[in-house]
Amino acid sequence: MHFSQMLAGATARHQSQLCVGLDPDPAKFPTPWQGDAARIHDFCARIVDATKDLVCAFKPQIAYFAAHRAEDQLERLMAYIRRVAPEVPVILDAKRGDIGPTAAQYAREAFERYQADAVTLSPFMGFDSIEPYLKYDGKGLILLCRTSNPGGSDLQAQALANGDLLYEHLAKEAAGHWNRDGRLGLVVGATFPRELARVRELAPTLPLLIPGVGAQGGDAAETVRAAWRPDAPIIVNSSRAVLYASSGEDFALRARAVADATRRELDAARG
């Protein structure tokens, strides 16, 4: 199924704009598993089980697996999500940004090895850095645009010769001729609500993946007011606030409580 169809279905079915980011850090695992990288899959699977009816997407961050030589656990986790929550799209957070044959291999990694429904990409090498991913029918490509970190301003907020800021130019390209078959989305941080509203103005129908709510301090209600439109999906990500809501044996139960509270707050903000 097309990524956008899966996203729309999960959003409606679960009344949710919440994406749970799967960023497993063994040092923060509950006490019995603390420091044990062999339990990465088990930890993430428990989070998935606890939240799968509350989310519009899951977003595993590949670095948290690769750093612990746990790519095989990521493969197992992706297969597990497809089995227990087949209606929920999975966004592989990889932020790849190369060209040519290398980009083709990264695309193969995301969509063949891990069977992701969408992937995050860095578009700063131009359209040919994302073109190889378009060969995979139905898959979503979510491009970095105005990221949630303060240092993003070093480049993304720089003015171009035509007066556009760089992130504005990226939003226009993604909403325009780059979006050849309607599969592009943008990453825009909740920590910059004014810029978030500007991106929504420039890209009125593109899905926006919005990190920064929760541990990074982004305001959930303000995020929805800036970016949500009836025909414009948003994917509001929360990772640490959900994953590490408790360090005890009740970690999955507490993760569900935080996820549900965030989901409700986001839904209420739609008015």
Pick the CATH number of 3-269 from 3.30.110.30, 2.30.30.100, 3.40.30.10, 3.20.20.70: 3.20.20.70
Residue 203 · residue 175 · CB < 8 Å? yes
Classify burial at 151, counting beta carbons within 10 Å of its beta carbon; exposed 0-12, middle 13-18, buried 19 or more. Answer: exposed
Parts of the chain with a pLDDT under 70: 214-217
Residue 168: predicted pLDDT? 97
Residue 191: predicted pLDDT? 86
Hey, is 216 helix, strand or coil?
A: coil
Residue 9 · residue 57 · CB < 8 Å? no
Domain locations in the chain as residue ranges: 3-269
Summarised one tens digit per residue, pLDDT across range 170-200 is 999 999 999 988 999 999 998 889 999 999 9
Alpha helices by DSSP H, listed for the chain, are: 3-14, 40-51, 62-66, 71-84, 100-108, 153-156, 166-175, 193-202, 220-227, 240-243, 251-269
**Distance between CA atoms of residues 145 and 241, nearest Å:** 23
Residue 126: predicted pLDDT? 94
Residue 214: predicted pLDDT? 63
Residue 221: predicted pLDDT? 85
Annotated active-site residue 28? The verdict is: no
Residue 216: predicted pLDDT? 66
Q: Which of 52, 59, 95, 135 is catalytic?
A: 95
Nearest to 170 by CA among 150, 141, 193, 191: 141
